[in-house]
Structure 1
Amino acid sequence: MDEVVEAFEEARRLRRERADWQFIESLPPRLRAAVKFFIETGDLRLAQLLSGLDYEDFRELLRRARVPVLL
C-alpha cells in the first residue's frame, strides 16, 4: 500500500514541477481550475469533465501547459 501512495505522490510532484504555471495562470477560470485539479489529483476524466472540453481538447490543453499525463 505504501508503494501506491508513494507512486501517486511522485506523479503529483512531477506534474507540479513540469507544469507551465505562467500559461496555466493565464487560462480562463474554469480551464485553470480543471488543469490545477488534474495536477493535484491525477483524475483525467473528472478534470476533463470540469473543463467543459472534450477529451482530446483537454489532453491538448495539458500538453500546451506542459503537464505530464502518466497513464
Structure 2
Amino acid sequence: MSTDEMLEWEEEARRLRREKADWNFINSLPERHRAALKFYIETGDLRLAQQLSGLDFEDFRELLRKAKIPVVL
C-alpha cells in the first residue's frame, strides 16, 4: 500500500467515525470520556484514547459501542 493510499484510507476511516458517532451521547459524557472519544475519532489511536479516558480497555470499547463509533482493528 502506497503512502497516498494509506492517507486516503485514514481519512476515510476518520470521516466514517465522525459521521457514525452519536454526538448527542458523546456531548453528554464527562469531559475526560468526551475528550478521549473525540481523540479516537480524529486519530484512530485506540490504545492512547483508552488511556486518556481512564477506563480499562473493555469499558472503553463499550463506551465506543454506546457512542456508535466504528472500530477497525
TM range (shorter): over 0.9
TM-score (norm 2): 0.97
Count of residues in correspondence between the two structures: 71
2:14 aligned with 1:3: no
Identity %: 75
2:65 aligned with 1:63: yes
Equivalent residue, structure 2, for 1:27: 29
Displacement after TM superposition at 1:4 (Å) = 0.2
Unaligned runs of 5+ in 1: none
Q: State the Cα deviation string for residues 29-69 of structure 1 (Å, max 9, x = none).
A: 00000000000000000000000000000000000000000
Equivalent residue, structure 2, for 1:16: 18
RMSD of Structure 2 on Structure 1 (CA)? 0.3
TM-score (norm 1): 0.99
Give 2:63's aligned amino acid. L
Larger radius of gyration: 2
2:53 aligned with 1:42: no
Structure 1 stretches of 4+ moved >2 Å: none
Give 1:47's aligned amino acid. A
